[in-house]
Structure 1
Amino acid sequence: MGPLKSIWNWFRKPSSTWGTGILLVAGGVAGVIFWGGFHTAMEKTNSLGFCISCHEMEDTVYQEYIKTPHYSNPSGVRAICSDCHVPREWQHKVVRKIRATKELYYKFIDPSIDTPEKFEVKRLHLAKNVWAEMESNNSRECRNCHSYDAMAFDKQHEKAAKQMKAAKERGDTCISCHKGIAHKMPDMSSGYKLVFEELEAKAKDDGAKASELFTLTEMPFWLDRDKIDQGRGDGLLISATKLEVLETSGDARKVRISGWRQKGADRIFYELMSHRIFTATLSPKALEQVKLGEEKTDPETELVWIPVSLDAWVKAEKLLADREELWGLAEEMYTASCTTCHGKPAADHYLANQWIGVMKSMKRFISLNKQEYRFVQKYLQLHASDTGGNGHH
């Protein structure tokens, strides 16, 4: 007889010493004691004191939190750490507690935020994890206290009421607009700057071997190979512009720039007919080298468009073979710039040409430079509702 079977038989064997009733009562009492102890311990880990017992929390996010209305307000209602970060429902709470064991690992085994300097390096990463979780559960913990249906919009500031009503109609989740509500906002640009650095390093290899390339940044082009680096060039390529490689010469590439131009606006190349998605701007000298296709008239606007191409030279740097990697960077920029005040609209929420006005209306609220601004706009335009995913080609 195996040991497991012996144990099982012993477990099932009727007691000759204690009555069944006594055993049932004793088991019930033991269960209550165990459950009470377990529940007490779990609730203890939800207390504010427990949350800030680690200096990593007390010296950083706690100091930010105590300056916010969630800590102190005229109503005297306080939301502590667990109110926002620990679910109330039993099953979700247990899952969160189990996941918290990973945080113990980084506390005792591999400290990653044990100094203010380390914490700042990780702040964006940590914040993104929390935001993603809150978006996935529709800001569940926020809704324990806040409800659209309970809001007295007439008692809110006019602008706030307008935004809240619109958010309710769209079904927006709280965290879409209220990032940084209880803690300092991370440097949102640090995320896309890191992505850019990675792509910049990768571009050195891509520019040397690929037959089809896309510009990582805005860059000049020259009509003559020997004049590269002389002056400002014969034109400017906008970020994410497609280039067909025709010839290789040292650290230079002869490329073909293709697109469309509107009749009367000869110095600008656009990516698609009837869509003002910038590809390149040309000098008067470069205009003489442009090859023209057959004119086409847009039936909706009656504007005349002409397919065009130009062969020119560029430096084999900051050129990528995969446009999707560029779009990953653009999405990071878009998210970083347009989710601190409100939920970002989906790219296909607007037409390509409408995005020009939408971006312009938001320009004063974002910190992108001119080149980054044009890059994000191009990304949104090529993923708009009327461009049919042309950004993937």
Structure 2
Amino acid sequence: MDKPIPYDRFSGMHNEGKEHIERKLQERVKELSCLYAIAQVSGNPAASLETILKRVVKALPEAWQEPERAHARIELDDRVFGTPDLPVAGKSLAEPITVRGQKRGTISVGYESADIPVLAEEKKLLKEVVRQVGLIIDRRETAEEQQRLHAKLHHADRLATIGKLAAGVAHELNEPLGGILGFTQLLAKTPDLPTQACRDLAKIEAAALHARDTIRRLMTFARQTPPRDIRLDLNRLIKESESIWQPRCSASNIQIDYALDPDLPDLVADDGQLRQMVTNLIVNAIQAMPDGGRLHIATARDGKQLELTVSDTGCGIEPDVLPSIFDPFFTTKDIDEGTGLGLSVVHGIVTGHGGTIHLTSTPGQGTTATVRLPLCRPSHTGAYDEKK
């Protein structure tokens, strides 16, 4: 017959079992608290991915058996959250972050000392946290992509609506404007007109010409003017257009610097559209320097592309304005100084020729517009020959 267990030994075994259960329970509570904290912050739509990852880094050590001696780090793409360098003396765990089957980073947890064992439960917890983080990243990036696509669709619909409106307005105004301009020019030829009448007619003609130019911009923006591609010399086009904006430079005390590549090859493009593009860019630069400055115009070849650079030393563009600078009818000028179509038309002409335009600006120092155009429009079916 087995001897009965002494009370003191039984009591000790009971206490040990109780302590073991309590430790297990505490560890489980910490694990659940960690997962709850992650779920709570990830469920907040206002929380950024950076905020979520920082919260994960903070919550992970709290779930380990020695929280005050544990450190966590998340590496995602080229970003690091948490402890930059985990303690090398202690043991550490690391699990890869996988998003849509692709490894994007790692979550690591380590101790300062090697005498602290890593529990099996901690390994399971880290795997679960890594899985949750991967799902969070996937959901956030999917939502961001959907927002971008929605914004692009909304922008395209808006442009299409504006284009139809612009085309309709342009057609409706063209005929009466042509009559105003024609009769004004006819009246100006009347002999013995008073001096004041001649001045008034000149003002009417100038206003009508300005309105006609605006209508042409509307037509170009609405793509109502079919392109007529020819072989042309960009340097010569710039010099021929100089008469349009040279007087304004002189009046505003603006110095012009040219750096035109003498070996620039011809390109195949619409002559009228390119003249308008060059003029709009330069006029915008001039308007940015009402108190004078320096206008730099340069051309160069970049592989199978030509590069046009227009720089000014004017007021510059604020960073929050730059993303909208090519939007139609967007302008920072007074109502009598611009329609907001200039750069939008430039953007349309450049992209229509298969090129790109990029603006860099520093408020108070100036703006640089860089246009890159292919030697031949992509839709052009004829072979390009560089020989002149």
TM-score band, normalised by the shorter chain? under 0.3
Give the structure, 1 or 2, with the largest relative contact order (CA under 8 Å, sep 6 or more). 1
Question: In proportion to residue count, which structure has more strand?
Answer: 2
Q: Which of 1 and 2 has greater Rg?
A: 2
TM-score by length of 2: 0.24
